[in-house]
Amino acid sequence: MPLTPLDIHNKEFTRKFRGYDEDEVNEFLDQIIKDFEMLLRENRHQQELIENMQSRVDYFSSMEETLNKSIIVAQEAAEEVKANAAKEASLIVKQAERDAERIVDDAQRKAHRADFEVEQMRKKIELYRNRFKVLIDAQTELLASNDWDSFEPARREVLDEVPAVAYNDDDVI
């Protein structure tokens, strides 16, 4: 158990022959008491400072822990946001690729269809051209033939058989 100033003050020493001077010892003890009380006050003050500083350290430690947890949560949230953004970007890219593929397929289908229609038109043109050529050749042959000379009397015969109807040379039979 530590000494108190009261313990020092109340301490009684036994007297012996040729002992110390009592006034000098008491004076020295009084000085020790004063110094001891001052040391005790200073010790209490230092203890209070230590407690105050410890409470501040505890406060800052808890704040540091809270901040560390907040940083970890923020990092996790940032990672999650990045992951979600990457997923969303991937989905957007895949959708864009699908759309582009669909557009290309549609364009190819339309191009094939246009090519087919062009080919069909070419065939129809060629067929029409051939038919027209055959028709022209037939008409040219007809014009070049000598049947025209014999056509006139036959026409007269046909006209003679037709009942009397108004007829112009401009009318086509």
What is the Rg, in whole angstroms, of the alpha carbon atoms belonging to the chain?
64
Q: 113 versus 12: which is more confidently predicted?
A: 113
CB-based contact 5:40 (threshold 8 Å): yes
Residue 2 has pLDDT above 70, yes or no: yes
- Token pair of 74 as six digits: 């923020």
Q: 141 versus 57: which is more confidently predicted?
A: 57
Q: Which of 40, 30, 25 is nearest to 9 (CA)?
A: 30
Residue 11 has what pLDDT?
Answer: 77
Between the CA atoms of 70, 76, 81 and 84, what dihedral angle is there, to the nearest 10 degrees?
-160
Mean pLDDT, residues 138-150: 77
Q: Work out the mean pLDDT of the chain and round it to a whole number.
A: 85
Q: Which of 56, 75, 52, 50 is nearest to 64 (CA)?
A: 56
Q: 143 versus 15: which is more confidently predicted?
A: 143
Neighbours of 33 (CB within 10 A): 16
- Token pair of 102 as six digits: 């669909």
What's the pLDDT tens digit per position in 37-50? 999 999 999 999 99
Q: 165 versus 126: which is more confidently predicted?
A: 126
As a whole-number percent, the residues of the chain with pLDDT over 90 amount to: 57
As a whole-number percent, the residues of the chain with pLDDT over 70 amount to: 84
Mean pLDDT, residues 73-82: 96
Residue 42 has what pLDDT?
Answer: 94
CB-based contact 33:11 (threshold 8 Å): no
